Structure 1
Amino acid sequence: MVHFWRYSTPFHLDLHIRTLIPFLILWFTWTQRNAAKYRGVSFSTDGIILEVQRHLRTLYAARTLTSTQWKGDLHQASVMGFIFPQQVPRAFALGTGTSVLAELTAVWRGMELALTHGLAPLVVEMDATTVISLLKSRASRKWEVQHLIMRIVCLQQLLVADVQHVFREANGAADHLAKEVAFLQLTRVLHRDDITGVLRGILCLDRQGVPHLHRG
């Protein structure tokens, strides 16, 4: 139950209020059950709610419950993925979250899109060395990261996909769109006619093997 609740939003913190409250409810349900069974104390839902509220007030007073636990990770990262099937690029936005989760989600969503459109074998290029190391090791101590890694590994086998590192200068199109959608909840497939302006120029340079230079 807690697993599905935890995954009902794309990104989350381990101590986010959405994760913390279900655990508190389960914990105080368990303690109330034991009190009723072994000490004859009356079991009530109101008692559980009061205990959860009291515990939250205690955490807040001790300053271990902050605005981050209510609003999410304030150090957010956005990401945009690109797929190039036969010179017709497709793009998709992923919203915001921690950088590792955002990058892994980009790879996962991109591979799912490639599988849907029958694009295989596949070469995945990214500038996140940490994520590439995680995919090679296939292991992480964080279970939400491990969950994404295993999904990607399965898709790698289906698509015969090779994940490669490229420098940031060679990843200009995805980087440009990531900045554009940093605070937008946008998910759509962009076709050739939808791509104009600076982005089209970056794609032309990329197709010719010329890197897009960033201003410092």
Structure 2
Amino acid sequence: MGNPGNSGGGSICRDDRGGFLFAFASAYGVGSNVNAELKAIYDGMEKCLASGLLRVVVESDSQLVVNFLSGSLSPGWKWGYWIARINRLKCRGQFLFRHIFREGKGAVDAMARLGSRDQTTMMMSSRADLPARVRGLLFLDMVGLSSLKESARVVRG
């Protein structure tokens, strides 16, 4: 919510067939969008490991962050703290970091806005616990309509 500005993070963890496992939303205070992205990835990885999930694909709409985490770009000192923490978690499982276009992660963005807006941290272990808007966005993502929306935008452009 601004860069820098009030920030939050969120994650939705799904199984290999797209089934819901858990979600979280967290407030991170004032910071940059890259800082919020790194914190959300760290929190998500930590929750996956705590749940016994050791082989995880982490998707981010920040190509910069994906490049940092895959080792193809040096983060420098500014984000080194969070990169080092994420790297320690990487040693405890198998994590693949992949870029995804923003249109493919509307549900996760809604979770991040929820954490930022409510200035709280919440964990949801049932799909029914998700706000209705997030459930709807998650459904659209699961059936591939978020990708179709982007394709339609490209065709019109």
Normalised TM-score (structure 2): 0.77
| Structure 1 match to 2:104 | 170
Match of 1:208 in 2: 143
1:26-105 alignment to 2 at 5 Å? 75-85=5-15, 86-96=19-29, 97-105=31-39
- Equivalent pair of 2:10/2:23 in contact (CA under 8 Å): no
Greater per-residue strand proportion: 2
**Number of paired residues?**
141
Runs of 5+ consecutive residues of structure 2 not aligned to the other structure: 151-157
Deviates more, 1:180-189 or 1:96-105: 180-189
The runs of at least 4 aligned residues of structure 1 exceeding 4 Å deviation read: none
Following the alignment from structure 1 to structure 2, what is the Cα–Cα distance between the partners of residues 187 and 78? 9
Aligned to 1:7: none
Query: In 2, are the aligned partners of 1:125 and 1:166 still within 8 Å (CA)?
Result: yes
Provide the aligned C-alpha RMSD in A.
2.3
TM-score, with length taken from structure 1? 0.58
Deviations 1:37-61 (A, max 9, x none): xxxxxxxxxxxxxxxxxxxxxxxxx
Q: Following the alignment from structure 1 to structure 2, what is the Cα–Cα distance between the partners of residues 178 and 92?
A: 6
Task: Give the aligned residue type for 1:197.
Answer: A
Higher relative contact order (Cα pairs below 8 Å, separated by 6+ residues): 2
Aligned counterpart in structure 1 of residue 84 of structure 2, from 147, 150, 154:
150
Query: Structure 1 or 2: larger helix share?
Result: 1
Counterpart Cα distance in 2 of 1:122 and 1:74: 29
CA distance in 1, matches of 2:37, 2:4: 17
Contact (CA 8 Å) 1:83, 1:89: kept in 2 or not? yes
Distance 1:94 1:119, change over 3 A: farther
CA contact (8 A) 1:78 1:182 kept: yes
